[in-house]
Amino acid sequence: MPSNKSKLEYLSLYSINKFYVELVYNTSTNKIIDVNSFKEGKGFEKYFPNIDITI
């Protein structure tokens, strides 16, 4: 699920087995600048701000 974070950063979300990986890529330096992983909870809030994902 690619998403534009800003003009210089590109945010992507990947699903791997039972967890998610978020990559932040800087387009001007052509490098990954941040990697975050999560299974549930607050990591999803920026992708689905109006959906309640509690179980």
d(CA 8, CA 53): 30
Instruction: Extract the tokens encoding 44.
Output: 């999803």
pLDDT tens-digit series, residues 1-25: 445 455 688 888 888 888 889 899 9
CA 4 to chain centre: 10
Answer whether 24's CB lies under 8 Å from 39's CB.
no
Write down the pTM of the prediction. 0.61
Count how many residues are written for the chain. Answer: 55
Q: Tell me which range, 8-12, 34-38, 40-44, is most confidently predicted by mean pLDDT.
A: 34-38
Among residues of the chain, what percentage have pLDDT more than 70?
Answer: 65
